[in-house]
Homo-oligomer: A and B are copies of this chain.
Amino acid sequence: MTAALPLPTLDTATADFLAQFHAETGRPGLGTRLAHVAAHGFTPTPEELAFAARVAWRNSTRCVGRLPWRALEVRDLRDVTEPGEVFARLLEHLRDAFAGGAIRPLISVFAPGVRVLNPQLIRYAGYRNADGTVTGDPANVTLTDFLRSLGWGGGPGMAFDVLPLAIQSGRRVELFELPADTVQEVPISHPECPGIGDLGVKWHALPVISDMALNVGGVRLACAFNGWYVQTEIAARNLADDDRYNLLPRVAAALGLDTRRERTLWRDRALVELNVAVLESFAAAGVKIVDHHTVTRQFTRFEARETRAGRDVRGRWSWLIPPMSPATTPVWHRGYDDRELAPNFERLPAPWDAPVRPGGCPFH
């Protein structure tokens, strides 16, 4: 690097990222690259993008699944801008990520201006009924209303109606229904308690987050990424929370528990058996999933590896601990520094919270 480099015209986030990329990968040519970017602006190369995506995962303070961060498969979709083509590539993402049940961690990175408006690729509708109750997933009532406002006609009105995708490109937004074969689902039953299977509960195999942007040296690109589930996400939150599917009372009834007194710990017993049901059902269906004991142990291996590599591990304790029996896992007993590192993922504002542009709808 020479003193003549026009560094001051470079964004420091960009310069820091490029320096990190060259330092960690051992690639030569940082000076040339900096000069080029200073002169022409920063468009990440495919290698820089892939590096940024993997390191963003490694830096995700709220993610307990970071051990295999190097194995993240990165799809660079920056040349895809037609909503219909974006949709086609997302279907590929869903099929390839599912991988017949083996589940591969995968990220698709979009062009500037392209974005999926759903927070995850697969979400179940939440229909608000006249009496105030909700059919489906109460977490998705606003999303469901939003998709209706974009022209969705509504689904069959059941508990697990998969919502269509709203894909934005520039000012255009288009809706797409996910074909059934791209939405793999696992019916939930319990090896010893048939009453739990009789509840008719299922969940989708793939959690694909689609409302975060990858920040690569100051350039923000919307993306969609997935790993596999920890069963607690499904069974201790999505199906259990009283403002979600609220199944603990019905699971307790199926188990024949005495729900009149807290002291029987019927909530805790129902919770454990619902978690067993999800783990056993995914295993029986041949769909990869990890339990909270195993994933937290893997996380301590990730910490040890990072420390050996001379890197700090950042973490948000309140997200890393599992929502059941947390003190039986190693993360409970550790402390974490929660300051964020770059590159990273950043949550995008919900489209229904976005300011409406003067003159009408934000999308047209």
Q: Chain A interface (Cβ within 8 Å of chain B)?
A: 236-237, 240-241, 248, 262-265, 267-269, 271-272, 275-276, 279-280, 283, 291, 293-294, 317-318, 323-328, 332
Identify the closest chain B residue to A262 (Cβ): B293
In the bound complex, do residue B326 and residue A326 qualify as a contact, i.e. CB atoms below 8 Å apart? yes
In the bound complex, do residue A263 and residue B291 qualify as a contact, i.e. CB atoms below 8 Å apart? yes
Q: Which B residues are in CB contact (< 8 Å) with A241?
A: 327
Q: How far is the CB of A282 from chain B (nearest CB, A)?
A: 9
In the bound complex, do residue A291 and residue B279 qualify as a contact, i.e. CB atoms below 8 Å apart? no
A325's partner among B263, B267, B280, B332 (CB-CB below 8 A) is B267
Question: Can you name 27 A-B residue pairings with CB atoms under 8 Å?
Answer: A237-B327, A240-B328, A241-B327, A262-B291, A263-B276, A263-B279, A263-B280, A263-B291, A265-B272, A265-B276, A265-B279, A265-B291, A267-B325, A267-B328, A268-B272, A268-B275, A269-B272, A271-B325, A317-B318, A318-B318, A323-B327, A323-B332, A324-B324, A324-B325, A324-B326, A325-B325, A326-B326
* Max chain B C-beta neighbours (<10 A), residue from A265, A294, A323: A265
A268's partner among B263, B317, B325 (CB-CB below 8 A) is B325
Give the complex CA separation of A266 and B318 in angstroms: 24
In the bound complex, do residue A328 and residue B265 qualify as a contact, i.e. CB atoms below 8 Å apart? no
A263's partner among B248, B283, B326 (CB-CB below 8 A) is B283
Q: Which B residues are in CB contact (< 8 Å) with A323?
A: 325-327, 332
Q: How far is the CB of A241 from chain B (nearest CB, A)?
A: 7
Give the complex CA separation of A236 and B268 in angstroms: 12
Give the complex CA separation of A279 and B263 in angstroms: 6
Q: Which B residues are in CB contact (< 8 Å) with A272?
A: 265, 268-269, 272
Give the complex CA separation of A345 and B330 in angstroms: 29
Given contacts A272-B272, A327-B240, contact A293 B267 (CB under 8 A): yes
Known contacts A236-B325, A324-B326; 18 further A-B pairs (Cβ under 8 A) = A236-B327, A262-B294, A263-B276, A263-B283, A263-B291, A264-B276, A265-B275, A265-B276, A267-B293, A267-B325, A268-B324, A269-B272, A271-B325, A271-B328, A317-B318, A323-B325, A323-B327, A325-B325
Q: How far is the CB of A203 from chain B (nearest CB, A)?
A: 16
Q: How far is the CB of A156 from chain B (nearest CB, A)?
A: 30
Q: How far is the CB of A248 from chain B (nearest CB, A)?
A: 7
Q: Which B residues are in CB contact (< 8 Å) with A269?
A: 272
A327's partner among B265, B276, B324 (CB-CB below 8 A) is B324
Give the complex CA separation of A262 and B298 in angstroms: 13
Of all A-B residue pairs in the complex, the 8 with the closest CB atoms, nearest first, are A323-B327, A262-B293, A268-B325, A268-B272, A263-B279, A262-B291, A267-B328, A265-B276
